[in-house]
Amino acid sequence: MKTLKLILALAWFSIVFCIDTMSLNVTAVVNVMIANAKSSWEFGTISEALLELNNPNLSVFGSAAFTPAPADIASLVYAKKHITLHEGLLINDASSNSDPASLGVAAAMLGITTAGYSTAAENQANTLLYHTPKALSGAISHRSQSIALWSDFVYMAPPFLAYYAILSQNASMLDIAVQQIQLYRDALKANTGGWSHISASSHPDSGLWSTGNGWAAMGIARTLASVQSSPFDVAIKSSQAALLKENVKEIIDAAMASPRGSSGLLHNYHQDATSIVEASGTALLAATTYRLAVIDPVMFGEVYVNWANSCLAAISAHVNVAGIVAPAVNPYDYRSQVPYTRGSPEGQAFTRGSNALYPVNHSTTIEISCSATAMHFTATAVMLGLLASFSTACFFTVHSSAVGDFKAQHSEPKDHGGAPQTITGGKGSCSFSGHLYDGCTVAVTSNNNSGSKTLYEKAVTIESRYQDNQIETVLKPNEITADAVTKGQGTSGYKTIGL
């Protein structure tokens, strides 16, 4: 008896859905997020969270970014309630010109089909570029009446400027978005690679605020996604993308090296174990890591995804039945040592953002072992053609490092008395097995909250022959090509990842 072992590495689409939806009331989390929002940056953050949750293909990370979006999608309906037209800012804010820019992507998206919103987005960009104080370095101030460089700025302004630059075909504006990130990095980066919170201000904060590092990291990731969609100079695009990846990697690496509490949550200030543990910064940094794993799965590989998984596992244990994510940092008093338990709007948004649908490259191994049935054949029997009725069984095992639910299905032909059977594996590493017979079909399917998707399906036959005084079993076809897993590409919510 000879065993044929076929190892097939498949690149496939797995949904980042690391918080168990059976234990997390998604609707409740969103309702708390919306009900508690009251500030300009919260409105923008929620709009972005709704976009990435409900219409990820339309977000800057998606395959349909920069294309017209239906005006009735949740993100844009929400944003319209808060956007003011015919003003220099998208929403009135007496203290910051950059916080209102958090609504900028929504305004720009609406502006694709509605001129008034396009003008509003342009006005917001002009206010940032020409009517906001700047540091000597040229860094645009987060505050409107004085110079103050906050890490928060990197989430609010550069992603908007980059997105609007692509829509308006303005290469110079895209350069400015990338440059502002470099100027902020120069001002805020600490020796650990993480960023301090506030510099060049009368009220500086040199601590490595967790949420501030999350603001900066996600802002860089969103800007990076726009850069990678740039229609401008290819060499510049490549250089900018490489630079931004290094920038954000520094922040994520520093966060990963920071101590966490026994609950698994990060401390409010990295490298300060006396500060409270909280969910907001933890969720935002994890969400950023997942997006980076999609953008560059080589640079941000398994170690990064595993770290993000552990963060979200910790967060899932801190969502109550009302949908409140706690403890969180007080969104209006970042230094507070009193955990915020009423539902931080941004913390709720970050949790939903980290739980949004994003495909991640994972490696799946399909191991097929075929062996002849234990029967004795003589050379004479083979010559008489008796082997033609020989029945071969094939035992297969599928191992997956996928995040989310994953299942394999095999259907046995009627003449073997078998019925279709499904074996489902849970989150994390899983394996399952079954038997294949002549003429059956192997199907490998991902099954998650966005529905089922066939990743691999192939009819196989088993050919048995007598050779060299032994029974040899051969799987036909003996090579299963990678394009077999491409069925279903283009489904809403998926990005195409090359195999």
Domain co-membership, 127 together with 248:
yes
Q: How confident is the model at residue 297 (pLDDT cuts 50, 70, 90)?
A: confident
347 and 366 co-located in one domain: no
Q: Out of 332, 356, 380, pick the residue that ends a domain.
A: 356
Range of 117-126, 384-393, 489-498 with top mean pLDDT: 117-126
Which 3 state secondary structure label does DSSP give 341?
A: coil
- Number of domains observed in the structure of the chain: 2
Give me the residues paired with residue 441 across strands. 411, 459
- pLDDT of residue 416 exceeding 60, the answer is no
Burial label, 498 (beta-carbon count in 10 A; 0-12, 13-18, 19+): exposed
Residue 196 sits in the same domain as residue 93: yes
Residue 490: inside a domain: no
Q: Cis (ω within 30 of 0) for the bond into 327?
A: yes
- Other Cβ atoms less than 10 A from the Cβ of 366: the count is 21
Q: Quick one: pLDDT band at residue 355, thresholds 50, 70, 90?
A: low
Model confidence pLDDT, tens digit, residues 376-395: 333 333 333 333 333 333 33
Query: Cα–Cα distance between 212 and 426 in angstroms, integer?
Result: 34
Model confidence over 15-52: pLDDT tens digits?
Answer: 233 333 334 577 899 999 999 999 999 999 999 999 99
Are 329 and 407 in the same domain? no
| C-alpha R_g of the chain | 27
d(CA 198, CA 206): 6
Query: Domain holding 59: CATH number?
Result: 1.50.10.10
Strand 451-459, strand 441-448: pairing: antiparallel
Question: How far is 274 from 58, CA to CA, in rounded Å?
Answer: 41
431, 342: one domain: no
Q: What is the DSSP letter of 388?
A: G
Mean of the per-residue pLDDT values of the chain: 76
**Amino acid letter, 309:** N
Give CA separation, 82 vs 30, 102, 187, 262, 335, in Å.
17, 11, 32, 40, 28
Domain span at residue 386? Answer: 4-12+361-485
Residue 166 sits in the same domain as residue 264: yes
pLDDT at 496 over 70: no
CA–CA dist 284, 282 (Å, integer): 6
ω before 477 within 30° of 0 (cis)?
A: yes
Cβ partners under 8 Å of residue 60, min gap 6 = 105, 159, 163, 222, 225, 226, 229
Does residue 444 surpass a pLDDT of 80?
A: no
**Residue 39 and residue 110 in one domain:** yes
Residues 247, 179, single domain; the answer is: yes
Q: Is 367 in contact with 432 (CB distance < 8 Å)?
A: no
Do 452 and 481 sit in the same domain of this protein?
Answer: yes
CB 53 within 8 A of CB 357: yes
The answer to whether 491 and 12 are in contact (CB under 8 A) is no
